[in-house]
């Protein structure tokens, strides 16, 4: 398997890692139970997020959440899958950096989409905090989406700052 196609293993691996970690939390940590890992900085907590990132739409009616979150997540997953398939074609000029980024986003999107479809909520369990500041809890899928999105932004920035290659002008015919 060439490196180009080995990248296709990233999405299912992220999905499986996400499912496995959520299963462990769901079966071994009671809802809202918190276990300090690094005192004053990092804890494992079992939360269920019915909303989107940062609990947006948390209090919206169930049908609104279902239509918006499942619909939007499905659309995003399909678009990213299409982009990844296109980027894997031998004729595509995208490098492995972009392919890995798309695979990370797709794996994470599928992990959270699975939760929304089958559980109506996403299990979050990683919580970082410092004194009075607490970052919203998240999971492996969220991390994968975030890392993939950052890689895509880095690639866009790198592409924008790359000097354009000038094509040589054709030579004028000699008279």
Whether 115 is a known active-site residue: answer no
Whether 33 is a known active-site residue: answer no
Under DSSP, the state recorded for 34 is E
> Is the distance from CB of 89 to CB of 99 less than 8 angstroms?
no
* Cα→Cα distances 152→77, 149, 156, Å: 15, 5, 6
Tell me the C-alpha distance between 28 and 35, whole Å: 11
Spatial CB neighbours of 117, under 8 Å, sequence gap ≥ 6: 70
Q: Which of 33, 62, 124, 132 is catalytic?
A: 124
Q: Which of 18, 132, 142, 155 is catalytic?
A: 142
Tell me the C-alpha distance between 124 and 108, whole Å: 13
Active-site residue list: 124, 142
């Amino acid at each position: 398997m060439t490196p180009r196609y080995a990248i296709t293993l990233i999405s299912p691996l992220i999905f499986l890692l996400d499912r496995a970690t959520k299963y462990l939390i769901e079966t071994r940590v009671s809802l809202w139970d918190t276990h300090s890992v690094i005192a004053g900085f990092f804890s494992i907590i079992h939360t269920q997020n019915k909303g989107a990132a940062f609990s947006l739409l948390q209090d919206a009616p169930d049908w609104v959440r279902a239509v918006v979150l499942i619909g939007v997540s499905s659309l995003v997953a399909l678009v990213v899958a299409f982009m990844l398939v296109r980027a894997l074609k031998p004729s595509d000029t995208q490098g492995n950096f972009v392919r890995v980024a798309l695979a990370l986003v797709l794996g994470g999107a599928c992990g959270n989409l699975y939760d929304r479809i089958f559980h109506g909520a996403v299990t979050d369990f990683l919580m970082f905090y410092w004194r009075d500041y607490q970052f919203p809890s998240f999971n492996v899928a969220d991390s994968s989406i975030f890392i993939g999105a950052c890689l895509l932004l880095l690639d866009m920035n790198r592409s924008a700052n790359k000097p354009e290659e000038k094509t040589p002008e054709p030579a004028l015919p000699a008279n």
